[in-house]
A = this chain, B = another copy of it.
Amino acid sequence: MERPRNVRITFEPYGKRVEVERGITIFEAVTKAGLAIRSECGGLGTCGKCKVRIKDPMSVSEITKVERNILSPEELRGGLRLACQACVLDDCMVYVPPESRIGERKILEVGFEQEVPLEPAVRKIHLMIPKPSLNDVRADYERMIDTLSRILEVRGWQGEKFDEMRISRELLANTPRILREAEWDVTVVLRDEEILEIERGNTEGENYGLAIDIGTSKIVVYLVNFNEGNVIGVSSIENPQLMFGEDIMSRLTFAMRSHENLSLLNKVLVNGINATIGEIALKSGVNRDNIYEAVVVGNTAMHHLFLGIEIKHLALSPYVPAVRDLLSVKAQEADLKINKRGYVITLPIIGGFVGADGVADLLATGLHKSNEFSMLLDIGTNTEVFLGNKNEILACSAASGPAFEGGHIKFGMKAVAGAIERVFIEPETYEVKYKTVRGEKPVGLCGSAVIDVVAGLLRSGLIDVHGRIREKPEVSRIRKVGNEVEFVVAWREETGIDEDITVTQRDVREIQLAKAAIYTAQSILMKRKGIKPEDIKKIFIAGAFGSEISVKNAIFIGLLPEVPEERVKFVGNTAIAGAKMALISKKVRKESREVQKLVNYVELSLDPSFQKEFINATELPHRDLDRFPKVKDYLTKVRN
């Protein structure tokens, strides 16, 4: 049997060589070479996007009428051809110019997050659809799908199940009109197998998504460009549910009372998010209709309240969530104001109050892939603690209160301009040095400063291990106002508020309770795992809380176990970073479900040692000083 004559083609700049049957088009040869070339018509000869340069004009077939219509005389003289028109006659070299190349998939890294391939669920594909005629009476929808399939094949997106392509009745009902008004030049928005939208002209450039982190106190929204995978806008607001209570439990109690209350909590939350989306879209010059997907994370209560799911049983023993799995919901069903056919994805929940934000934290830090033991603390009004490695992760949630975010602290405030963020108390002279955000006149204290003050007082012997401030006549900064003892951090004349800025005895108590809650969580997880602080190779600290806290002081007051300081890494808002990863990568979405399965939730309150451990942890740094040998050394020296 005679084999058909084959020819060899080399594609530059790829340096890719392929042997193909003589007579096929270069367009077909590109596909056989496993390369991709730009095309909007899928090789029909109508779009003119698949320009290539042929080294030897004699190695391919003659210039066609189509090419004479589409290419300029200069282009033809320069050896340019349309890949879909030129047939290969002999061995040849084909150069694919930059304008005809399809960008390779990009690898991203933004902030502290894991690198993930850019593979969003939502894709936009520009189509030039051949018009119907008496000789081509395919139905409008099939006509569109046919063109779409060709393009996807050309772009190497195989394995699509076109048989299972879905479209809503309402969009389908309008398809004939849209296609004709656009003169068959449209961009299809595809989410997996569903056609979300048919847009007029080429709108491939306008493809956006949202990552949304619903914290108990704060909501953060990222606007992400799906074409590049980068964040193009950030916005945040206070959680408007705050008016129904600062902590989760008081909101759940309110929601439990009636269906109207639940519905109200849902509405204020969603309205707040919608306002933020509006703002970020306006700022970034993006049309809401071009936002097709949102990935939402938050603790279990926020997750349920966002979706309007009943939370009665979450608030009562045995604290059962309604659902833990990753959910994909129509944006309209969740009342989120993005493209009306868009989708909202909520990442899986771990258990108890440890929600989708926890899964996002793990995704962003990669803790679940590590061989070594790592710990992750997401510090907020509720603090989530994770401990483990790629084999198993334990998780729990501690009600740490808002002290570290400046809440319940007399002069507490967020880390905005004028907030004191670092404080140093000279142990001998009790002199105070401080630093404010942006160097402005001090107006209050943020969480990191309060930690510094407590540590500084302890180091100076001005408070005892029980946290009681010691009044000393030689220390003018310590004074009693009414029944309350307080320490003056900044004198009225230095401040911008015409008042002394102080840390009160009550503030110290708040910090003690907060750090005790967080330490107890860490301690019980270590006990369950049977490991000691030195076994923990890395401690990730996530949360708005920020990178400004002093690790040394955090250990000194017993907020963190005593580990070498360099093992502690501040990772910022990993919840939103993880949400963003899941937004731009279908692989990460899948991974999120595996992460969930890896994590075992520990209900702290059921641990028999919880009460005792918590009480002991309220001391500074801890009643059992042997857990903090270096601090013990220091304190012993000071006392002697």
Contact = CB atoms under 8 A, between A and B. Distances in A.
A349 interface: yes
Given A134-B317, A318-B133, A333 B168 contact: yes
A310 B174 contact: yes
A1 interface: no
A97 interface: no
Given A327-B169, A333-B169, A334-B169, A176 B312 contact: yes
A236 interface: no
Interface stretch (A82-90, A136-144, A209-217, A505-513): A136-144
A634 interface: no
A307 interface: yes
Nearest to A165: B325
Contact of A175 (B142, B143, B322, B334): B322
Copies of this chain held together in the complex? 2
Contacts of A180: 313
A168 to B, nearest CB: 7
B323 A175 contact: yes
Given A168-B333, A172-B309, A307-B169, A139 B318 contact: no
A15 interface: no
A310 B169 contact: no
A330 to B, nearest CB: 8
Interface string A23-66: 00000000000000000000000000000000000000000000
Interface in A590-636: 593, 601, 603, 606
Interface in A144-198: 163, 166, 168-170, 172-177, 180
Given A134-B606, A177-B310, A310-B174, A139 B320 contact: yes
A140 B322 contact: yes
Interface in A287-336: 307-310, 312-313, 317-325, 327-330, 333-334
B139 A308 contact: no
A386 to B, nearest CB: 18
Contact of A137 (B175, B333, B351): B351
A564 interface: no
B134 A321 contact: no
A265 to B, nearest CB: 13
B321 A140 contact: yes
Contacts of A317: 134
A78 interface: no
A172 B306 CA distance: 13
Interface residues on A, range: 35 or more
A170 B333 contact: yes
A329 B167 CA distance: 9
Given A176-B310, A176-B312, A310-B177, A141 B325 contact: yes
A614 to B, nearest CB: 20
A310 B134 CA distance: 20
A212 to B, nearest CB: 16
A98 interface: no
Q: Please report whether the interface of chain A is mostly helix, strand, loop or mixed according to DSSP.
A: mixed
A132 interface: yes
A324 to B, nearest CB: 4
Interface string A374-414: 00000000000000000000000000000000000000000
A176 B322 contact: yes
Nearest to A144: B323
A32 to B, nearest CB: 27
Nearest to A140: B322
Nearest to A308: B173
A252 to B, nearest CB: 13
Nearest to A335: B169
Contacts of A175: 309-310, 322-323
A324 B173 contact: no
A309 B134 contact: no
Contacts of A134: 317-318, 603, 606
A172 B308 CA distance: 9
A171 to B, nearest CB: 10
Interface string A87-129: 0000000000000000000000000000000000000000000
A139 B324 contact: yes
A320 B142 CA distance: 11
Given A142-B324, A322-B175, A323-B142, A169 B308 contact: yes
A380 to B, nearest CB: 23
Contact of A307 (B139, B173, B177, B593): B173
The 10 closest A-B pairs by CB, nearest first: A141-B323, A139-B324, A139-B321, A173-B309, A169-B329, A176-B310, A169-B333, A132-B320, A134-B318, A176-B322
Interface of A: 132-134, 136-143, 163, 166, 168-170, 172-177, 180, 307-310, 312-313, 317-325, 327-330, 333-334, 349, 351-352, 593, 601, 603, 606
9 contacts: A132-B320, A137-B320, A137-B601, A137-B603, A140-B323, A142-B325, A169-B334, A172-B323, A176-B322
